[in-house]
Chain A
Amino acid sequence: MLRLVDLVKQYKTGDKALKHVNLEVPNGQVMALIGPSGAGKSTLIRCVNRLVEPTSGKIYLGDKELTSLSQGALRKARRRMGMIFQEYALVERLTVMENVLSGRLGYVPFWRSYFRKFPQSDIDEAFRLLARVGLDHMVDKRADELSGGQRQRVGICRALIQNPELLLVDEPTASLDPKTSRQIMRLICELCKERGLAAIINIHDVLLAQMFAERIVGLQLGEIVYDGPPDGLSPDVLTQIYGEEDWEATIAKVEDEDDEDEEAAVP
């Protein structure tokens, strides 16, 4: 599905954010990318849809090589990758519906999008998605009137209406409370299952990553230092990723608790 070959990103300041990263994400796999701040997680997923231009290396989405695409071809390729952002990144002064429909911009010509005359099938799909995340009664609310969790749901709809094959998810829970965080993570993973989507989820919260992802990749200073199943995260591995700390309390003992017992894993 997605294959990164020898991916390097060096910023103008000289910082090497990614050092020869090789990674393959098969169809339908939900993968969590963990690592300390500045490890290159954000850079990695932004390189995939070239919001950040990689310095060297190759990125294959299916058979398509992305780093050499022209602007027009890149736009077409971006339609196949939905992105969900840390601070939701909804356009605040647009309505919920406009934000969701903006996920179709790659498919509709300019004037149709300008007059907000989207095809009926897009509008049907938008209502279906909004109903799925429980927001179909808020279509005409402005995005900045919603709560954090609601905004992230709209962000999810915007990514999914692209009809993507891959989700790039950048810290989806970073500005949410613990309960909403779990709900959002669960929703993302359920939707990936329903639609057979692969996903790369950047996440700070190791516990959430273990609860919801099938595979965990640990990034440290631009290099992959762990790649394996969630239960393979031992204190040693976490020390390797994040540095020395008492990790016993962080490692999940249970699979997926109910929403009610938030503190369960933190003794």
Chain B
Amino acid sequence: MNTVTTHRSWKKQPFIKSPLLRWGLVVGGAFYLALVFGTMDVNWGRVADGIPRGQRFLSSFFPPDFTSRATDIFDGILESMWITIISTVVGILLSIPVGLGAARNLSPRPVYLFSRAVLAVSRTFPEIIIALFAVKLFGFGPFAGFIALSVGTIGFYGKLLAEDIEDMDTSQAEAVKATGASWFQWLNYAVQPQVMPRMIGLGMYRLDINFRESAVVGIVGGGGIGATLLTSFDRYEFDSAAAILLVIIFIVMGVEYSSSYIRKWVQ
């Protein structure tokens, strides 16, 4: 009909339709950022003073001294590993029922809400806060650290387990249900195979997190390598502290490499 080809222009639709709102958000955001920087009140003189002090501080870390506190370091690491492994295992075991309860496609409404509440509470408090409580309750030592990390693990693992179950393929779940399987058989045959690889990967990741956190909770009295680290700082034995930090880095790297290997293997 129309022999003249007309060119219709096309542009991607902006995410926020109203230009007023769009530019308002950009300008408002920039203004707020500027305001925040203004209130920070950096004393540049003290920053300048701090730099050489920091250099002196860092140089006192070298060379790291592994020998003079060797038994303390060794005991601390052993205790940290103990806390890490036990709290990861116990935390994961406890998070399985909570995670199942918190999966919307598995649980009736009241169970779902209760489990989500448990997860929310345990995720609200960082491990170090829980550790402070646990130290007050059970006294100094690895038991407090173990409690803190276990609670932290429940929040982390339970939430991710619930989310993974909610994302599972429903047709596989339906098919197993249709055979007349009981609820536990259905979990074992339809749900578990689907979530297992990711859960093993996350378990390894949590082991890694718990080891690092065990150093942190140790500083507030939760035992393990953190306590050893704190002692060496208190005694101004920075070379021993450096040795401890290196050992922690080394172990975290070891867990990191082995976990990525294990994750590939279970896919």
Binding site for B on A (CB under 8 A): 49, 51, 75-79, 81, 83, 85-87, 89-94, 98, 102-107, 110, 113-114, 155, 158, 162, 168
Contact = CB atoms under 8 A, between A and B. Distances in A.
Nearest to B193: A93
A105 B175 contact: no
A158 B178 CA distance: 11
Interface SS of chain B: helix
Contacts of A105: 176, 179-182, 185-186, 189
A87 B171 contact: yes
Contact of A79 (B174, B175, B177, B179): B179
Contacts of B227: none
A89 B185 contact: no
A103 B193 contact: no
A150 B185 CA distance: 25
Nearest to B189: A102
Contacts of A79: 179-180
Interface residues on B, range: 20 to 34
A152 to B, nearest CB: 12
Nearest to A46: B174
Contacts of B186: 105
A113 B188 contact: yes
Given A105-B185, A113-B189, A158 B172 contact: no
B197 A113 contact: no
Contacts of B177: 51, 78
B182 A75 contact: yes
B190 interface: yes
Contacts of B185: 105, 110, 113-114
Contacts of A103: 179
A162 B171 contact: no
Contacts of A77: 180
Given A75-B181, A105-B182, A51 B174 contact: yes
13 contacts: A51-B177, A51-B178, A78-B177, A78-B178, A81-B178, A83-B178, A89-B172, A90-B175, A91-B190, A105-B179, A105-B181, A105-B186, A106-B181
Contacts of B169: 92
The 5 A-B residue pairs with the shortest CB-CB distance, nearest first, are: A106-B180, A105-B181, A78-B180, A89-B175, A79-B180
B175 A93 contact: no
A79 B196 CA distance: 27
B179 A91 contact: no
Contacts of B182: 75, 105, 110
Interface in B221-242: none
Nearest to B171: A89
Contacts of A87: 171
A1 B155 CA distance: 51
B180 A85 contact: no
B180 A92 contact: no
A49 B171 contact: no
B107 to A, nearest CB: 15
A146 to B, nearest CB: 14
- Most A CB within 10 A of own CB, among B169, B180, B196, B197: B180
A111 B244 CA distance: 47
A93 B193 CA distance: 6
B193 A85 contact: no
Given A75-B182, A105-B182, A91 B188 contact: no
B105 interface: no
A85 B194 CA distance: 18
B257 interface: no
A83 B175 CA distance: 7
Interface string B121-140: 00000000000000000000
Contact of B194 (A75, A76, A78, A93): A93
Contacts of B178: 49, 51, 78, 81, 83, 168
B31 interface: no
Given A89-B171, A93-B196, A94-B193, A162 B188 contact: no
Nearest to A155: B175
A105 B179 CA distance: 7
